[in-house]
Amino acid sequence: MPGISLGSALWGESVAIWALVWVWLLGRGPLKPLAIAAIIFAGVAALAGVTGGSLNIARWLGPAIVSVTFLADFWVYLASWFIGVILGYIFYLIFIGERCRLIQARRSGKPNAGVASRAKSRDAYGRML
C-alpha cells in the first residue's frame, strides 16, 4: 500500500466489511443476493486505489505471496475483517435485534413472548423472574 497510511487502509477495509455484514444480516427476500453483490462492487470500487479493494483475506493473500509483500501489512486485512464483522454485529444487535424479537412476538399473538422466553431461560424451573 504505497502512499497510503495503514490507519486509512484499516478504516476503509473495516467500513466495507461492516457494510457487507450489515446487508447480510438485514437482507430479506429474493433481492438479498443482488444487494450483497452491490455492496461488494461498491466496496471494491471505493477501495481499489487505496488498498486494492480485496474485502477478503484470501483474495488478498494470493497476489501478496506472489509479490512477496504479504508480511509487511497482512495485519491490516486480518484486523479489518474482525473489526468490520464485530462492528456489524454490534450495530445489528443495538438497532435491529430487539425490534426483531418484538415483531416476532407480536406476530405469534403473544404480546410478551420475547420477554417471557428470556425470563424462562434464566430460570431453571421455568418460573417468571
Q: Tell me the pLDDT band of 89, cut-offs 50, 70 and 90.
A: confident
CA 71, CA 78: separation in Å to the nearest integer?
12
Q: CATH code at 51?
A: 1.20.1080.10
Mean pLDDT taken over the chain: 77
Give a yes or no: residue 43 inside a domain. Answer: yes
Per-residue pLDDT for 16 more than 70?
Answer: yes
Residue 80 lies in a domain: yes
Task: Give the residue numbers spanning the domain of 27.
Answer: 6-92
Place of cell 466495507: 16
pLDDT at residue 113 is higher than 70: no
Residue 128's pLDDT band, with cuts at 50, 70 and 90, is very low
3-state DSSP helix/strand/coil percent for the chain, to nearest 5?
75, 0, 25
Cα distance between residue 88 and residue 84, in whole Å: 6
- Indicate if the alpha-carbon torsion angle 77, 81, 82, 84 is positive or negative: positive
Q: Using 50, 70 and 90 to split pLDDT, how confident is the model at 115?
A: low
Asked if residue 104 is part of any domain, the answer here is no
Q: Is residue 105 part of a domain?
A: no
**Is there a domain that residue 103 lies in?**
no
- Answer whether residue 115 is part of any domain: no
Domains in the chain, number = 1
| Number of other CB atoms surrounding residue 86 within 10 Å | 14
Does some domain include residue 68? yes
Please check whether residue 107 lies inside any domain of the structure: no
Q: What is the pLDDT of residue 52?
A: 78
Q: Are 81 and 57 in contact (CB under 8 A)?
A: yes
User: Hunting for cell 502512499 — which residue is that?
Assistant: 3
Task: Please write the tens of the pLDDT for every residue from 26-75.
Answer: 888 888 999 999 999 999 899 888 887 778 777 777 777 887 776 777 78
Query: 3-state SS of 64-100?
Result: HHHHCCHHHHHHHHHHHHHHHHHHHHHHHHHHHHHHH
